[in-house]
Structure 1
């Protein structure tokens, strides 16, 4: 079964992340499969707009930590010491470029978020041109607390510096309502209205000629790219590798191997573990 599915529906190209048993978590295959689906839609002269969504209970829960953090994956996410930063950079830069296929595509992409778009899943969602969330959906980049740096750097381009710092200094998750109020996404709607809201937007955009859509997207994207987006993403990708091989990052991975990633993630997100000293924080100090 393909980890990403694609179908053409009139003037709409529908791309769906398809690992529902793990909340569409990212493994080694998903980023390239996403880029392949985007290329299919972008090359089809009958497709005017793409809609990106997730199968099952969530859009995307980020990187599959059972696969990576517990040591059951390819070993690329955390290497034995001494680590090879160029190997790590090539691994993560490839994924970043696959996510950025949404940005680079000539045709616009609407991302529909339900459930979760967290960690690496937020990287994917924020590369789309328009993101519409369910009000009860959650978005955030929790690995900013330890073991990650968002390689697409889309937080700052969507929010500006202060709000981006508010999100990445805390690693908090926020609801679709707060994300829309903050300007991170286009809008949020009640969960039972999400499909209709996305379909209405896609149908409206699909009535515009492809060349008109392409020119508007290219002009707007160029204005952002002129600020040095690629250089920022390169730095973020390098830093992402460092976060996973820093003393704290190694302690997080070891903890995940010892107690399972769910407990390690809970300790990280709730701030109950000191990753520098590699021990639980006493309740009186929290």
Structure 2
């Protein structure tokens, strides 16, 4: 079996035809580290090459599916963002190229010929929701949470899958509010294929995977291609390009830079509490003044 640092990939020995990609950072709620997107792509490629794998379960070890990007690295720390957020001057195309590569890595779950099923417990939030929604099917526990809270400030979901999975009206509600929804609500809205009590999640996801595994690979590939083509015709790739550019802007406009500086001074947890509380977020000149004040505090630390 291939070896990775943030996940594992294997055939399930007691479920013929079923493969599994498992995120293996439970102590971090499987937060996305620098290597995770590339490792997702590599694991998907390995699954694609296994003739006896017809369907792939995507799971997270421990209490959560994936709690998004590891913001201890990117928001609170002093180090530069990997797409050169703090570069002087900021180069939007360098930012775009880095983030587009990450998006393409995650979207390998959608592009592979084999159906992928996200099994979600705990949280699939921020970048974790990108991973879950790039899978073809979604099975959640009733009490699991999914959402993209950084739409309130400092983020835009680069896969743009909310609209294609929910439709425009409900996607706008999720993106305008940054609210999470639970598994039961996700199923009621048609975002999740199934939502079940937590103690039945493993069995329900495996049951669905085994049902799919009995279908010939060629048939599965053709059916997936047909459905994916509808999304492509509706402009998925162009929408993702716009979303990825906008994600860079959200991290460099005054509001995004205020969030970054506030996290550096007060800690990421405090910044998230402000973001998610519904409090007014400084913008424009107000944000610029707040940034100057925060940078003075950083200089004095």
TM-score, normalised by the number of residues in structure 2: 0.90
Q: CA deviation at 1:123?
A: 0.5
Q: After the TM superposition, which residues 51-70 of structure 1 pair with which residues of structure 2 at under 5 Å, given as runs?
A: 51-70=57-76
- The separation in 2 between residues aligned to 1:273 and 1:261, in whole angstroms, is 17
Partner of 1:162 in structure 2?
Answer: 169
Name the SS of the counterpart of 1:50 in structure 2.
Answer: strand
Q: Is the 8 A contact 2:26 2:62 kept in 1?
A: yes
Which of residues 197, 207, 211 in structure 2 aligns to 1:204? 211
In structure 2, what is the Cα distance between the partners aligned to 1:247 and 1:74?
17
Distance 1:154 1:11 in 2: 27
Residue 256 (structure 2) pairs with residue 253 (structure 1): no
Secondary structure, counterpart of 2:181 in structure 1? strand
Query: How much has 1:81 moved relative to structure 2?
Result: 4.1
2:73 alignment partner, SS class: coil
Residue 3 in structure 1 maps to residue 6 in structure 2 = yes
> Paired residue for 2:108, among 85, 101, 115?
101
Q: Is the 8 A contact 1:66 1:72 kept in 2?
A: no
The equivalent of 2:45 in structure 1 is 39
Quote the residue 1:17 is aligned against. 23
Partner in structure 2 of residue 29 of structure 1? 35
Q: In proportion to residue count, which structure has more helix?
A: 2
Please identify, of 181-190 and 119-128, the stretch whose mean Cα deviation from structure 2 is larger: 181-190
In structure 1, the residue corresponding to 2:71 is in which secondary structure?
A: coil
Q: Is the 8 A contact 1:158 1:184 kept in 2?
A: yes
| Distance in 2, Cα, partners of 1:55 & 1:247 | 37
Check the 8 A contact 2:77/2:264 in 1, yes or no: yes
Shift of 1:226: 0.7
What is the SS of the residue equivalent to 2:74?
coil
- Counterpart for residue 293 of structure 2: none
Partners in 1 of 2:20 and 2:282 — Cα distance?
Answer: 41
Say whether the 8 Å CA contact 2:78–2:264 is kept in structure 1. no
Tell me, in whole angstroms, the C-alpha distance in 2 between the residues paired with 1:259 and 1:101.
37
Write the deviation string for residues 81-136 of structure 1: whole angstroms up to 9, x where unpaired.
42110111111101100110000000000100000000110001000000011101
Q: What does residue 192 of structure 1 align with? A: 199
2:81 corresponds in structure 1 to 75
> Unaligned 5+ residue runs, structure 2?
291-301
Report runs of 4+ in structure 1 exceeding 3 Å deviation.
none
> 1 CA distance for matches of 2:87 and 2:59?
36
Name the residue aligned to 2:269. Answer: 262
Contact 1:146–1:249 under 8 Å retained in 2: yes
1:130 maps to what in 2?
137
- What's the CA shift for 1:184? 1.4
Asked if structure 1 preserves the Cα contact closer than 8 Å seen for 2:6 and 2:33, the reply is no
Residue 181 in 1 paired to residue 188 in 2? yes
| Structure 1: stretches of 5+ with no match in the other structure | 280-286
